[in-house]
Amino acid sequence: MTQPRTPMFGLEPLDLLLAAGRGQPDARALLRSLTGGREVTAGHLREKPTLSVIARLTEHSGEGLWWAAGLSAAQRVKGAKARKRATALGVELAEHAFADGSILLVGPAATDPRLADADRELAATADIAPLPSSTLNYNPWRRAVRIHEAHDTATVVKLARSPLTASAAAANAVASSGGPALATRVSASGRLLLTPLASPDSAQPVDTQTAGGLLARIHTQAPLAESPSLAWRAHLSASVEQLSRLVPEHGNAVRALSRSLEGRLAQSPQHPVFLHGDFSRDQVLGDGGRGVVVDFDRHSVGAPGSDLGSYLAVELLSRIDAEPDGLHRPSDRLTAIRDELLSGYLEGGSGARTRHSEPTLDEIEAWTALHLLARASEPFRACAPNWRDDIAQRLTMIADLTLAGTEERA
């Protein structure tokens, strides 16, 4: 008698999504059948080990987004709200049951059960609802960002499962003090955020030097009373736990790197400032030719090097993805990006009342490594065909960058 196969991570729906990412024919065929015959790619994976997995399915045609929810036998009851939401919209969710008692539910993004309350508020917002929209970002069962355009006006709309009141307060505090942010209004529930742009063409990225100048101005903002302290130790611990589970063969190296980073960051001078918390090129727009910073969901108070390191980590990985040869000389690439960012940062802060000492190159390097470590698992979340090897490459790169920085300072 054939024994049932043990899922790699204790949840068959997760195995299916990863197999589809590898191009496994049966897995791809099943996803195709669950999306009405559409070819889709899974990504934005988010899991609770052995319990559930949430993913975004993107149509190859670029015309549609779907959510997929894999629920263990113990979590299947959570599918009831999703079915209720879909039924109210006249849509029947696709469902597949697995031998381990788990299920995979799939539905169009419009049926996302965790965004239902925000969607209802949006429908009741008279100056927004009738306008055509396009989706800028979608993280299933968590948030969606859309842009609504009409003639010469545009509004960025964020819908979320959790209140965005603190994010709006931070953006409005920066804007009211003359800083590079846009005034934002929030709905009664806090789950809907509306940000008017100067024009439909405003949502354009800016260069790294400009981003550095805008960040310097953000760091002169007085922290809000409700701004939390940066919990970098907790973030580091979470990265280590996940990587040790995904690629256990690299667990010792990950833990050693973590100990090194924790020691360096703990010894860094403490000069806390108001932090954006998730700073990258995607969070900076060339609104009206002046440049603004958006999305203050993760604002906090902490070392300025954290925001700088966040930008550098995202930018380095983005450029390596665009030009894979850059992986062979990441230190040269990182140095070039860092110099461009710091050029704008130092210039941008020169005319403002300084609230902190400038971070040293050693601090920036350590923060960059921390943010790179946090993103080392991205190939897994993207269901990349060779995600294990890709994670290993990222870990090697982080170690090499840390070593190169040590030699540079010697």
Of 185, 202, 219, at which residue does a domain stop? 202
229 and 262, same structural domain? yes
Quick check: 223 and 180 in contact, CB under 8 A? no
Q: Is residue 167 domain-resident?
A: yes
pLDDT at residue 23 greater than cutoff 50? yes
Q: Is residue 42 domain-resident?
A: yes
Of 48, 81, 111, at which residue does a domain stop? 111
106 and 158, same structural domain? no
Q: Mean pLDDT over residues 151-168, rounded?
A: 91
Separation CA 174–CA 182 (nearest Å): 8
CATH number for 164: 3.30.200
- Pairing of the two strands 103-108 and 65-71: antiparallel
DSSP secondary-structure letter at 53? E
Please tell me whether the overall predicted TM-score, pTM, comes out greater than 0.85 for this model: yes
pLDDT, tens only, 296-341: 999 999 999 999 999 999 999 998 888 766 566 788 899 999 999 9
Number of domains in the chain: 3
DSSP secondary-structure letter at 229? B
Q: Is residue 4 domain-resident?
A: no
> What element of type H or E holds 26?
helix 25-34
The sign of the CA dihedral 203, 295, 209, 348 is positive
- Cross-strand bridge partners of residue 66: 57, 108
212 and 69, same structural domain? no
324 and 256, same structural domain? yes
The whole-number pLDDT of residue 407 equals 53
pLDDT, tens only, 265-307: 998 767 899 999 999 999 998 865 678 999 999 999 999 999 9
pLDDT at residue 1 greater than cutoff 60? no
State the angle between helix axes of 304-322 and 208-218 in degrees (0 to 180), rounded to the nearest 10: 160
Closest CA to 20 of 50, 57, 51: 57
The parent domain of residue 139 ranges over: 112-202
CATH number for 372: 3.90.1200.10
220 and 176, same structural domain? no
Quick check: 158 and 138 in contact, CB under 8 A? no
pLDDT, tens only, 348-371: 876 555 556 788 999 999 999 999
71 and 50, same structural domain? yes
- Pairing of the two strands 284-285 and 273-275: unpaired
119 and 80, same structural domain? no
249 and 166, same structural domain? no
Of 150, 177, 202, at which residue does a domain stop? 202
238 and 341, same structural domain? yes
